[in-house]
Amino acid sequence: MDRRRLLLVVAAVIAALGVALVFVYARGADARAAEQFDTREVLVATQTIEPGESFEDALASGKVDKAAVAEGQLLDGAGDQTDPFDGKLALTTIYPNEQLVPLKFGGAFDVEAAATLPIPEGKIAISILVNDDGRVGKFLSPGAEVAVIFTDIDRSTGEPVLTQTLLPRVTVLAAGSTTALQGDDGSSEDAAAGDERQIQQLLTIAVSQRQAQQVRFAEKDGELTAALLNHASEVDVDKGVTKDNLLKQGD
């Protein structure tokens, strides 16, 4: 009899725990549902806002309005107040129904920098002076991809020591005008008249911190050349070419 009573007590306790767990789960589900369906009014774009367009112009032309957005879908910084956007310009294209956040607006200088030099995320921009012996400079434009090749020069003799691929593939952000090198007499070479081998070009490229350090060291120790790439170009960083292996055949 005592055993039967003990089993009944245990069963009652288990049933009570089960009811409590169900109650807790139901309350959690209600909270999650409330978060999903509770909404807040925030500023959104009703039409496309172009980079460089001021918030005031977008607002005046009916491109900005308030819309209800679920709490769980709110972006950081989204709200219904216009103060954070006063006097600011769009830094990037903002599409219809997109929530407005201060991160995508800035001053005129920020817009100019974002528009003229779009640095990929995680990269930095540096400028390098490269030889234009192969006339590749005539085909370089922002968005092109190049390999940067380094030639180590013996300072005492002026002879090449090693030529090696330094950066196998980087993106060109800007291509500056070509510059004629100084002649031995101190005068500028006449590029139009002739010697395009003496032309150099300033390129701005997107690189990692490590690549920037490599470039800055290499340009102090020799010469840099850009090789234009396409999507199918295959470039590897190998041991390079020296006088000893110059005539060795390879891929």
Among 30-44, 59-73, 119-133, 147-161, the range scoring the smallest mean pLDDT is: 30-44
The DSSP line for 175-238 is EEEEEEPB-TTSPBP-TTTT-GGGEEEEEEEEE-HHHHHHHHHHHHHEEEEEEEE-TT------
Give the model's pLDDT for residue 212.
93
Kindly list the domain boundaries of the chain, sorted by start residue: 39-115, 124-229
Q: Which two tokens stand for residue 136?
A: 């590749």
Task: Return the CATH fold of 39-115.
Answer: Type Iii Antifreeze Protein Isoform Hplc 12 (3.90.1210)
Nearest-angstrom CA–CA distance, 185 and 81: 66
- At 200 the pLDDT is 65
**pLDDT given at position 197:** 45
Distance CA 71, CA 68 (A): 9
Range among 181-190, 197-206, 236-245 with highest mean pLDDT value = 236-245
The tens digit of pLDDT for each residue in 128-152 reads 887 655 446 556 777 888 999 999 9
- Within the chain, residue ranges assigned H as helices are 2-37, 55-60, 108-116, 209-221
Of residues 201 and 129, more confidence is placed in 129
113-136 mean pLDDT: 72
pLDDT band at 2 (very low <50, low <70, confident <90, very high): low
CB 78 within 8 A of CB 43: yes
Structure tokens at 242: 């020296």
Rounded average pLDDT over 209-236: 89
> Does 13 score more than 80 pLDDT?
no
- Percent of the chain scoring above 70 in pLDDT: 67
- Helix H or strand E segment including 153: strand 145-153
Summarised one tens digit per residue, pLDDT across range 166-175 is: 999 999 887 7
Mean per-residue pLDDT over the chain, rounded:
78
